[in-house]
Amino acid sequence: MKRKPLLIAVVGPTAIGKTALAIQLAKHFKTVIISADSRQFYKEMSIGTAVPSQEELAEATHYFIQHKSIHDSYSVGDFERDTLGLLDTLFLEHKVVIMVGGSGMYVDAVVNGMDTFPEVDPKIREFLNKQLADHGIEGLQKQLSELDPVHFQKVDIHNPQRVIRALEVCLASGQPYSSFLNKHTTTRAFDTLYMGLEAPREVVYDRINTRVDVMIQSGLVEEVKSLLPYRNTNALQTVGYRELFAYFNEQSSLEEAIEEIKKNTRRFAKRQFTWFKRNPQIQWFSYPVQLDEVTSYLKERMS
């Protein structure tokens, strides 16, 4: 029987070194990298999303880095479709392709397929968006906690897009959003091996704090200032941008905004780790990991 091509998914919390490991693996296998970091899709957002540097991008071919505008609508379903189409082409030339990113939902969509949800009347979405604009996200968070306490514990409740998406399904169907999850079985034309990076919490948090300081020094405040006219777009409702929008709106000092970025990024990392820990297929490696440790494991699994 002909062996299926292999997708190696490098996952883990933010700031733990996934990009560096993915580049090492791409060079080892003489292959390319697919980014599954949904924050790095947008060309207007560079500093606050820790887009790979020009030097890193030159070391290995990357796909889905800054290929969209914040004004474009781009969903996890779009990413699944685009990635599967690209993989069909890439696997003609490469036996192995690397996928890297901390956006668990996007990684899962490529590997396992999308869950099926009921159609939602656009008026429900409009109503929820108006609630958000008029009263903020707190009321929507409370409503989701009542309608779907299970999903409320897992979703990024500070991401308006995710909260509204869950709520609109609850309201349209009369059932919890979580009741529609993990109901599908999908067969892919490739095999997948997961590599997870982990570290003690204090190490991850220290790396996050350092990364935020570097972002500020690199011009994050100026980047966010240039995006002020578009602050209500979905892509910008994310950590590193929301907090500085509040600063420009005179709701906090710059020092407070920076501390909020660090705090919210730490929370984000914790949610990422919780998401990935649910997946028993992930082989975990402790940061900093040596390449030969990873390649030895892969060689054993691929033989």
β 62-63/33-35 pair status: parallel
How many Cβ atoms are within 10 Å of 265's Cβ, its own excluded?
23
Q: How far is CA 261 from CA 134, 209, 235, in A?
A: 24, 9, 16
Q: How far is residue 249 CA from its own chain's centroid?
A: 27
Whether residue 83 is annotated as binding a ligand: the answer is: no
Residue type, 109: A
* Farthest CA pair distance, the chain: 64
- Among 117, 126, 23, which Cα is nearest to 75's? 117
Confirm or deny that 19 is annotated as ligand binding.
yes
Q: What is the spatial distance between Cα 268 and Cα 156, in angstroms, rounded to a whole number? A: 8
17 assigned ligand-binding residue: yes
Known binding residue 274? Answer is no
116 is known to lie in a ligand binding site: no
- Consult the annotation and say whether 269 binds a ligand: no
CA distance 56 to 8: 19
Distance, CA of 275 to CA of 82 (rounded, Å): 23
Binding annotation for ATP: 12-19
Binding annotation: 12-19
Binding annotation for substrate: 14-19
